[in-house]
């Protein structure tokens, strides 16, 4: 009996030891799993930090050669005349440009509630801008440097200056995407616009081949040709495939009734700048010389909306494309 009791005691001790070893093993596995999870979380956090560090602080040179440093992602952007391109990235500015009478009307469905700031008397004072506390200012052309505005604005917040954003819409959107850490949205906006251009160009192929256009802008000072370097002039020639009138290509700027018989344009687009050119457009329409032009006699003269035909940005240019399709390929 004593022998059996001793055996039972040994078996019981072995069982307890095995149970204890199993418990220790399970505890070690849990600790290892917990350690692995903590390591993964820490790695993810570190990865996020690395990503943020790669984007900001960001230091680049603007197109005027000024060094611009952004310590963090901007959230309050003042970019007069560039509202169109900001909206392409899904970003609203803190204030929107106005000529003193109205803002850019074609954007108001997306800019409701954004305060207007008047440029009727030139760039607003630094005090006016400072009151809005922007953390990034973007200026659409180098004239701001020439007139001394850049130097004043750059003291308020990091300020980026384009040489002329209107002559390179796609490039300026890419730059804004870099400044605001939205490169994917910038690329998508450009791609969507290019698809629109390609479809329109295909539809208009029979109307554009070998055809020349002229754009005449009317304002308080008179009548002027628009070139193919920017705004709607760029869209018609570089995007849709029309040729610019030889007369305009050779450097004509101011329009007079006397030169109209020499104007080799199959299509003419009239743009009245805020109705300021009413006296001149009425004079044109009443002229027998005007009525004798080939475009007039062929019923190929079109009056357009100055609101977006005189603006740069993929929203504006997209609406110009819509108009041309309605005019020529309804």
**Per-residue pLDDT for 36 more than 70?**
no
Same domain, 213 and 319: yes
More confident residue, 88 or 52: 88
* Predicted local confidence at residue 251, as pLDDT: 85
Domain range enclosing 319: 205-327
| b/e sequence 95-118, b meaning 16+ C-beta within 10 Å | bbbbeeeebbebbeeebeebeebe
Distances (CA, A) of 202 to 112, 198, 239: 35, 6, 11
Calpha distance 136→58 (Å, rounded): 12
Q: Residue 197: which pLDDT band, with cuts at 50, 70 and 90?
A: very high
More confident residue, 127 or 54: 127
**Per-residue pLDDT for 153 more than 50?**
yes
Same domain, 174 and 211: no
* Predicted local confidence at residue 275, as pLDDT: 78
Same domain, 212 and 309: yes
Q: Residue 252: which pLDDT band, with cuts at 50, 70 and 90?
A: confident
- 155 within a domain of the structure (yes/no): yes
Q: Tokens at residue 251, please?
A: 């450097």
Residues 224-240 have a mean pLDDT of: 96
Q: What is the mean pLDDT of the chain?
A: 88
Min mean pLDDT across 3-7, 115-119, 212-216 is at 3-7
Q: Residue 49: which pLDDT band, with cuts at 50, 70 and 90?
A: very low
**Per-residue pLDDT for 299 more than 50?**
yes
Residue 94 Cα to chain centre, angstroms: 15
Same domain, 271 and 314: yes
Same domain, 233 and 175: no
Calpha distance 69→158 (Å, rounded): 6
Same domain, 101 and 172: yes
**Per-residue pLDDT for 215 more than 70?**
yes
Q: Are 233 and 240 in contact (CB under 8 A)?
A: no
**Per-residue pLDDT for 5 more than 70?**
no
Same domain, 227 and 321: yes
**Per-residue pLDDT for 55 more than 90?**
no
**Per-residue pLDDT for 7 more than 60?**
no
Q: Are 31 and 23 in contact (CB under 8 A)?
A: no
Q: Tokens at residue 166, please?
A: 């209107």
Summarize pLDDT for 158-193 with one digit per residue, the tens: 999 999 999 999 999 999 999 999 999 999 999 999
Same domain, 312 and 228: yes
Same domain, 68 and 166: yes
Calpha distance 179→172 (Å, rounded): 11
Which CATH number belongs to the domain containing residue 73 in this structure?
Answer: 3.40.50.1980
Q: Which of 151, 182, 213 is the last residue of a domain?
A: 182
Phi, psi of 211 (to 5 degrees): -100, 145
- 196 within a domain of the structure (yes/no): no
Residues 255-280 have a mean pLDDT of: 93
More confident residue, 103 or 1: 103
- 158 within a domain of the structure (yes/no): yes
- 23 within a domain of the structure (yes/no): no
Axis-axis angle for helices 169-179, 183-203 (nearest 10) = 160
- 40 within a domain of the structure (yes/no): no
Same domain, 311 and 275: yes
Same domain, 173 and 213: no
* Predicted local confidence at residue 40, as pLDDT: 41
Q: Which residues does 318 contact at the CB level (< 8 Å), separation at least 6?
A: 193, 196
* Predicted local confidence at residue 274, as pLDDT: 79
* Domains: count for the chain: 2
* Predicted local confidence at residue 54, as pLDDT: 66
- 269 within a domain of the structure (yes/no): yes
More confident residue, 16 or 198: 198
Summarize pLDDT for 9-32 with one digit per residue, the tens: 444 544 444 444 544 444 444 444
- 164 within a domain of the structure (yes/no): yes
**Per-residue pLDDT for 91 more than 70?**
yes
Exposed (0-12), middle (13-18) or buried (19+): which is 196, by Cβ within 10 Å?
middle
- 284 within a domain of the structure (yes/no): yes
Min mean pLDDT across 64-73, 193-202, 269-278 is at 269-278
Q: Tokens at residue 148, please?
A: 């001394």
Same domain, 167 and 283: no
Tally of residues, the chain: 330
């Amino acid at each position: 009996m004593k022998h059996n009791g001793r055996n039972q005691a040994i078996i019981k001790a072995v069982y307890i030891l095995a149970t204890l070893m199993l418990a220790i093993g399970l505890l070690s596995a849990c600790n290892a799993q917990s350690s692995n999870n903590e390591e993964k979380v820490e790695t993810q956090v570190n990865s996020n930090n690395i990503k943020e560090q790669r984007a900001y602080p960001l230091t680049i040179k603007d197109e005027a050669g000024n060094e611009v440093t952004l310590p963090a992602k901007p959230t309050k952007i003042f970019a007069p005349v560039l509202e169109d391109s900001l909206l392409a990235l899904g970003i609203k500015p803190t204030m929107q440009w106005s000529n003193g009478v109205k803002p850019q009307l074609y954007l108001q469905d997306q800019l409701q509630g954004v305060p207007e700031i008047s440029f009727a008397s030139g760039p607003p004072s630094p005090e006016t801008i400072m009151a809005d506390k922007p953390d990034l200012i973007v200026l659409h052309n180098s004239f701001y440097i020439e007139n001394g505005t850049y130097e004043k604005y750059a003291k308020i917040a990091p300020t980026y200056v384009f040489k002329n954003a209107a002559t390179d819409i796609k490039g300026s959107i890419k730059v804004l995407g870099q400044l605001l850490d939205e490169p994917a949205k910038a690329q998508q906006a450009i791609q969507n616009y290019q698809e629109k251009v390609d479809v329109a160009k295909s539809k208009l192929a029979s109307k554009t081949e070998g055809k020349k256009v002229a754009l005449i802008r009317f304002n308080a000072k008179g009548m002027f040709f628009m070139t193919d370097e920017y705004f709607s002039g760029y869209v018609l020639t570089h995007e849709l495939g029309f040729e610019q009138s030889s007369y305009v290509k050779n450097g004509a700027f101011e329009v007079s009734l006397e030169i109209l018989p020499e104007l080799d344009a199959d299509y003419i687009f009239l743009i009245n700048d805020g109705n300021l050119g009413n006296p001149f457009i009425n004079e044109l329409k009443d002229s027998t010389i005007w009525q004798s032009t080939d475009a007039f006699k062929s019923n190929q003269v079109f009056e357009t909306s100055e609101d977006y035909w005189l603006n740069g940005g993929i929203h504006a240019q997209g609406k110009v494309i819509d108009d041309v399709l309605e005019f020529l390929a309804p």
